[in-house]
Amino acid sequence: MTGAERPLIAVLDYGIGNTHSAQKALEKGGADARLTRDAGLIADAAGVVLPGVGAFGACMAALRSTGLEAPALDAVASGRPFLGICVGMQMLFTRSEEDAAATGLDVVPGTVSWIPPGPKIPQMQWNRLDLTQPDDPMLQGLGTEPWVYFVHSLHGVPDDPAVVAATVEYGTTINAAFRLGNVFAAQFHPEKSSRPGLALLGNFVRICSEATSSHMAEPISTEIMTESS
């Protein structure tokens, strides 16, 4: 495979949680996925993944202490494909009810709120996505019944409801995925969601690969022009 077909994806490693499985699942999807906190490598990557498990405040503190906040925000601002997973998704929001003192990355304006009382908390189970943005390239090929695995006590409530890409029913309607420009964020764990999850990560790898190819097209044609002139 050429570099364009096997895009470099930076999985931000801020020392919390099981980032190993996200990396392995992206490699299965065809990526050259690297666990990293190297700002240079993150800047060079075709796409960036922000994983996370545990507590919002602890994850934000770890992201900052490992110097990854600025590279993460730069990656979002660069327009390259960006994927947040679970607490990595929650960190993209402005704030979380889990830790009022902690501030998020504020990429997706809104609040991470507790799942309304009723069902068992956390939601630790598989659930079926209802796609509110079925045409999103990340949500193609997930099958007619995309069941995915959740472990969470809070969910994102964006200021602009139009950014919600998928929901699930859990006592009430819970937001499960978001799309804002180049950013896709999932509350569930695609790396633990068997075939639909691998399909979603495969979509991310393909989108990264296509973004790299179109980016590469310009300099290559210029080079040919230079040689022939």
Partner 1 sequence: MRTARVIPCLDVTDGRVVKGTNFVDLRDAGDPVELAARYDLEGADELVFLDITASSDNRETTIDMVHRVAEQVYIPFTVGGGIRTLEDARTMLRAGADKVSVNTAAVQRPELIAEIAAEFGSQCVVCAIDARRRRADGEPSPEVPEDGWEVFLHGGRTPTGIDAIDWAIRAVELGAGELLLTSMDRDGTRIGFDIELTRMISESVNVPIIASGGVGTLEHLADGVTEGGADGVLAASIFHFREHSVAEAKSVMAAAGITVRPA
Active site residues: 86, 189, 191
Yes or no: say if 107 and 91 are a contact pair by the CB < 8 Å rule: no
In angstroms, what is the minimal distance from the CB of 49 to partner 1? 15
CA distance 222 to 128: 48
In angstroms, what is the minimal distance from the CB of 193 to partner 1? 7
Interface with partner 1 by CB under 8 A: which residues? 17-18, 20-21, 24-25, 28, 53-55, 119-122, 124-128, 145, 147, 149, 151, 168-170, 189, 191-194, 197-198
Per DSSP (E only), the strands in 92-199 are 93-96, 108-114, 123-128, 130-131, 147-152, 154-158, 164-170, 172-180, 183-186
Residues forming beta bridges with residue 164, ordered by sequence position? 178
Q: How far is CA 215 from CA 46, 56, 202, 208, 210, in A?
A: 10, 35, 20, 11, 8
Yes or no: say if 7 and 201 are a contact pair by the CB < 8 Å rule: no
| Closer Cβ to partner 1, 75 or 177, answer by number | 177
In angstroms, what is the minimal distance from the CB of 223 to partner 1? 39
What's the chain's Rg over C-alpha atoms? 18
| Closer Cβ to partner 1, 51 or 71, answer by number | 51
| Closer Cβ to partner 1, 166 or 180, answer by number | 166
| Closer Cβ to partner 1, 6 or 189, answer by number | 189
Yes or no: say if 92 and 107 are a contact pair by the CB < 8 Å rule: yes
In angstroms, what is the minimal distance from the CB of 154 to partner 1? 12
